[in-house]
Amino acid sequence: MGSVRWAFRCGSWTPTRSEWLYAARCVQREEKERIGQFVFARDSKSAMAGRLLLRKLVCEKIGVPWSEIQLGRSPRGKPYLASPTDTPPLGPQALRWSFNISHQGEYAVLAAEQGLQVGVDVMKTTMPGSSSVSQFFRLMTRQFTEYEWSVVQSSGSEHQKLAAFYRHWVLKESFIKAIGTGLSFNLQRVEFHLSPQPITEGQVQRRTVLHLDGEEEDTWMFEESLLDADHHVAVALGLQTKPLVGQPHSPSFSALPPTSFTHLVFDDLVALASPLTEEDTAYWDSFQSKAEAPERQSSGTPPK
């Protein structure tokens, strides 16, 4: 069994010229170009951190040399490990791993597991940018069930209600990302019954229960934690419906100890990296010209 939970605080990362140019050399060319197209530096940093987290996982845990890693995206945007055309197919060890990333607020996060479906989502508890909390909730009415809204609305102060909202949101998003369906999935089919115990920093909560189409699901487990006082993160873990190659049975949840997120720094992200392309000094000039973030975050559907 293998479990990985990594978090990188990209919001407070102010890359130096050498860091940014080296990072750009260590991701696939098409990813470098995609990252460079973001309007704001905040989004470029988050995307870069996400790609470096994925490559670190594949190199360190799966054992594929950095220069041979080929990452692809499903039609719904979920990352996967692909065999390069000029190398043998990936073995059973690689196929047993499932992984997912998320970035929002100050963090980029990665969760990975052997033999289980995995989805992860992180959100920062923030006040709506241009509307009241009640107006914001009205915009999001169809995303939660009546029971979930009753839990949110009874949580106490406005900040506590927002925290409850984002706790539900990351749970739903982690599940949707694990099954890979995207937002075409009706979120009202999914109802979470939260653990009565509060979430605290440094601890992993696993007592929240999923109800799907009104029925309690025992093939899914959810890990909830706080990266800091404002950032909720949820990891969805699902038993495989089919045995994976080289693994006759999915592991049981009882054999899986809870895993806390390890906070990484930039040097951790590139510790095993090797450059894939030549240095492009114009890439730094372009990054330097970007504003950090929009002046004001508008309200609406929480970002992914």
Q: What is the 3-state secondary structure (H, E, C) of 61-112?
A: HHCCCHHHCEEEECCCCCEEEECCCCCCCCCHHHHCEEEEEEEECCEEEEEE
Q: Is residue 245 part of a domain?
A: no
User: Does 93 have pLDDT greater than 60?
Assistant: no
User: Does 300 have pLDDT greater than 50?
Assistant: no
134 and 79 housed in the same domain: no
Across residues 75-98, what is the average pLDDT?
Answer: 66
Category of 159 on φ-ψ map: left (φ > 0), alpha (ψ -120 to 50) or beta: alpha
Across residues 228-247, what is the average pLDDT?
Answer: 79
Strands 3-8 vs 262-264: parallel, antiparallel or unpaired: parallel
231 and 159 housed in the same domain: yes
Highest mean pLDDT, choosing among 81-85, 129-133, 175-179: 175-179
E strands, 134-289, where?
190-193, 209-212, 215-216, 220-228, 231-239, 262-264
Alpha carbon 141 to its chain centroid, in Å, reads 24
Category of 275 on φ-ψ map: left (φ > 0), alpha (ψ -120 to 50) or beta: beta
Give the residue with greater pLDDT, 294 vs 25: 25
Q: Is residue 34 part of a domain?
A: yes
162 and 184 housed in the same domain: yes
- Cα–Cα distance measured from residue 38 to residue 15, given in angstroms and rounded to the nearest whole number: 16
Residue pLDDT, tens place only, 116-141: 999 999 999 998 876 899 999 999 99
Helix (H, G, I), strand (E, B), or coil: what is residue 205?
strand
Instruction: Tell me which residue range forms the domain holding 278.
Output: 1-114+250-297
User: Does 180 have pLDDT greater than 60?
Assistant: yes
Q: What is the pLDDT at residue 86?
A: 44
77 and 172 housed in the same domain: no
What's the predicted TM-score (pTM) here?
0.90
- Cα–Cα distance measured from residue 119 to residue 176, given in angstroms and rounded to the nearest whole number: 7
Across residues 173-178, what is the average pLDDT?
Answer: 95
CB atoms within 10 A of CB 10: 25
The sheet carrying 116-124 orders its strands as: 116-124, 231-239, 220-228
87 and 187 housed in the same domain: no
Side chain identity, residue 218: D
DSSP 8-state symbol, 38? -
User: Does 243 have pLDDT greater than 90?
Assistant: no
Pinpoint the alpha helices (H) of 223-280: 266-269
The set of residues, in sequence order, having a beta carbon less than 8 Å from that of 46 and lying 6+ positions away, is: 10, 103, 104, 108
Q: What are phi and psi of 236, to 5 degrees?
A: -95, 130
1 and 107 housed in the same domain: yes
195 and 103 housed in the same domain: no
219 and 194 housed in the same domain: yes
- Cα–Cα distance measured from residue 63 to residue 297, given in angstroms and rounded to the nearest whole number: 40
153 and 168 housed in the same domain: yes
DSSP 8-state symbol, 199? P
Among 138-147, 159-168, 292-301, the minimum mean pLDDT is found in: 292-301
Asked whether 36 and 286 are in contact (CB, 8 A), the reply is: yes
- Where does the pLDDT of residue 287 fall: very low under 50, low under 70, confident under 90, or very high at 90 and above? very high
- Where does the pLDDT of residue 242 fall: very low under 50, low under 70, confident under 90, or very high at 90 and above? low
185 and 270 housed in the same domain: no
Q: Is residue 129 part of a domain?
A: yes
* Structural domain count of the chain: 2
Q: Is residue 263 part of a domain?
A: yes
| CATH code: domain of residue 184 | 3.90.470.20
Q: Is residue 302 part of a domain?
A: no
Q: What is the pLDDT at residue 84?
A: 53
Q: What is the pLDDT at residue 281?
A: 97
Q: Is residue 63 part of a domain?
A: yes
- Where does the pLDDT of residue 90 fall: very low under 50, low under 70, confident under 90, or very high at 90 and above? low
User: Does 299 have pLDDT greater than 70?
Assistant: no
Q: What is the pLDDT at residue 241?
A: 59
Mean residue pLDDT across the chain: 89
Domain boundary residue, one of 214, 239, 264: 239
Domain boundary residue, one of 207, 239, 271: 239
Q: What is the pLDDT at residue 184?
A: 77
Q: What is the pLDDT at residue 185?
A: 86
Residue 304, CA atoms < 13 Å, CB-side half-sphere: 16
108 and 254 housed in the same domain: yes
Q: Is residue 174 part of a domain?
A: yes
